Structure 1
Amino acid sequence: MADSSFDVVSKVDRQEVDNALNQAAKEVSQRYDFKNVGASITWSGDTIVMVANSAERVLAILDVFQSKLVRRGVSLKAIDLGDKEPKASGKEYRLEGTLKEGLSQENAKKLTKLIRDEGPKGVKAQIQGDELRVSSKSRDALQEVIALLKGAEIDAALQFVNYR
């Protein structure tokens, strides 16, 4: 019997992020507490930029944006906000976030080690570029691995694809 396998990937639906950003921008432009404070959330190339006249308001914009992402099924781990501290320049505070695509080598290694140490016997994990291929003769073992990885503390949004 051939091995069954699946791939662990970290992909972001750019369209859903874009929709969430547009909804957040609309809410920010309409909300009373954001009037006349220079509050905005926009794309700048591949970076999401949030701007307001105080750190608290920038974090409030982030909160609005994150609630829109969650509602659209986008993992908050898919956005890298650095240290999450709004930077001040003059009277303006900004917070920038980038989309994280693909598994980093570091995360892929963490996952393979986790599968090796805690996963069922007979399961193989191979790093392939920015993906991880997990294979085994037993489909039940693969289900166990998926459950294990869903509970893992990894700083990436994981999806499981190509299950065969």
Structure 2
Amino acid sequence: MPSFDIVSEVDLHTFTNALDQCNRVIETRFDFKGVDASFERDGLAATMFADAEFQLTQMEDMLRGSLVKNKIDPKAMEVGDIESRGKQVKQRVTMKNGLESDLCRKIVKLVKDSKIKVQSQIQGDQVRITGKKRDDLQQVMALLRAEDLEQPLQFTNFRD
């Protein structure tokens, strides 16, 4: 019986590459000359350091652009509040990894409401969709791509 899994994952290596690219851009940009600004990675989170708040917003835009170039959906970003520490300001950016149970239930409800002949079950931080026909599974994928969910989805482990 054909099936696939719905997950939401961010590749750590790709995320690190995106942050490294942003750090290189900061070193070469004229408006950041003489400014102590940088990105520091801690797992699937990053902290942006700068001298002023407007620089943090520019750095956030840089990060979004770099994530898009590295094929990571910027919807996975969760930007924290700006904190002040001495002369510098910092802001934490966390990447959402894995589906939360509320989002899993929302996905299952969407699939059931669509009346497509498939079964869906929650398995930890992912949702497995099983059906008799491959076309039904592709309809579910199209339905979820068209839906505006708060997190990017990937469809993995497609079995025929």
Bin of the TM-score, shorter chain as denominator length: over 0.9
Structure 1 residue aligned with 2:128? 133
Counterpart residue identity of residue 97, structure 2: E
Q: Which stretch of structure 1 is more off in the superposition, 33-42 or 142-151?
A: 33-42
**One-letter identity of the residue aligned with 2:56:** V
Contact 1:119–1:148 (8 Å) recurs in 2 = no
CA distance in 2, matches of 1:129, 1:107: 12
AA matched with 2:154: Q
Query: Quick one: structure 1 residues 133 and 92, their matched pair in 2 at CA, closer, same or farther if it must change by over 3 Å?
Result: same
1:87 CA drift (Å): 2.3
How many residues of Structure 1 are paired with residues of Structure 2 in the alignment? 159
Indicate yes or no: 2:71 matched with 1:77.
no
Report the identity percentage: 36
Structure 2 residue runs of 5 or longer lacking an equivalent are none
Counterpart check, 1:28 vs 2:40: no
Q: Quick one: which of 134, 141, 146 aligns to 2:141?
A: 146
The Cα RMSD (Å) is 1.4
The TM-score, its normalising length taken from structure 1, stands at 0.90
Answering whether residue 14 of structure 2 is matched by residue 19 of structure 1, we say no
Gaps of 5+ in 1: none
Q: 1:44 to 1:12 in 2, by over 3 A?
A: closer
Deviates more, 1:12-21 or 1:149-158: 149-158
